[in-house]
Amino acid sequence: MAIITYRQALHDTLRDEMLRDENVVLMGEEIGVFEGSYKITAGLLQEFGEKRVRDTPIAEEGFVGAAVGAAMLGLRPVVEIMTINFIMLAIDQIVNHAAKIHYMFGGQSRVPMVIRTPGGGGQQLAATHSQNPEVWFAHVPGLKVVAPSTPADARGLLKSAIRDDDPVIFLENLALYNTRGEVPEDGPDDVIPLGTADIKREGKDISIIAYSRMAAVAVNVAEQLANEYGIDAEVVDIRSLRPLDRTTIVNSVKKTNRAVVFEEDWRSYGVGAEVAATIQEYAFDYLDAPVRRIAAAEVALPYSKVMELSALPTAQHLVDAVRATLAASGGARRNGGIVIPGLAGVARG
């Protein structure tokens, strides 16, 4: 396996899919000559030409609508929205057209398109450029929504998204672009089906359920919990928000009997709420403690670095939540005995 960045994995996958299928075309603001705001499309205009790499005007509703039409006529557009904060300008095309056309035309027309867009906080980009509105799209039947946390997942899920016959919202977190990881070589083994979660770390004391950047944080926290407190946490990376792999989530909780949901989005009505409801519905009898949720403070994200950090969920919040959940449920069982981790402050949420 090669070790590459999340950014490189996205670039290489776009190129591979364009080589594989001449119907794959790219559209977006400054993706051609400028090579994209985050350089995901570097070199693709020179290799594939203007017919397949289209710079668009600053008109999100217009070029997303054009992509919907192109998809209906046989192309497989991959649209780049410069930042997810601008996706609101195209929400009518996404929710009222891309998501519903297959149904409204009695199954006679499909919309095989992907909308790629970065988001997330922690970059001091202030209130209107640091958002996580993934739940808006995960709420809509007809859309598929994925949020990979590793370069391998970014590659595998983007391949599946481009080959899928339905519209897919592909969410990238700005803080992940420079992270590195092993990525399989090109082939059938590096395609990850949409709707599949992944156990990033196996454990038996508690399930930490997360996605995107928070899944990466959770893996590090799980190692910290093991090293400092002897807590064996399992990390479930949802990675596909719709369809949601409820089976993997529920089976993990049935094994560990405790769960903490960890997300960067706001808490109310969010993805974490859906996960918590799923656990309550399908694994209630297995729980030794209430499901705890860790999310961002419900405020517009401040520009001030200190205030921004105080609003976002952190590794320490997760450590505290795991320890509090274990303490409330009698601690982690070991070889017939019991280990009771002490509380460390008040857990967020």
Token couple for 48: 């594939």
Q: Hey, which residues does 145 pair with through a beta bridge?
A: 169, 242
The CA R_g of the chain, rounded to the nearest whole Å, is: 21
Residue with tokens 């996605």: 211
Which of 60, 138, 128 minimizes the C-alpha distance to 93? 60
Report residue 194 as tokens: 């949409």
Q: Is 8 helix (H, G, I), strand (E, B) or coil?
A: helix
Confirm whether 129 is a catalytic residue: yes
From the list 17, 29, 35, 60, the catalytic residue is 60
How many CB atoms within 10 Å of residue 24? Answer: 22
Cis peptide bond N-terminal to 243, omega within 30: yes
**Which tokens is 158 given?**
């983007």
What gap in Å lies between CA 299 and CA 6, rounded to an integer? 29
Report the sign of the C-alpha dihedral through residues 344, 266, 196, 200, in that order: negative
Q: Which residues pair with 25 in a beta bridge?
A: 77
Instruction: Give yes or no for a contact between 264 and 211, defined as CB atoms under 8 angstroms apart.
Output: no
Count H helices and E strands in the chain, helices first.
Answer: 12, 16
| Diameter over CA atoms, the chain | 67
317 is catalytic: no
The interaxial angle of helices 315-328 and 213-229, nearest 10 deg, is 60
CA 190 to chain centroid: 18
Q: Which residues are catalytic?
A: 60, 129
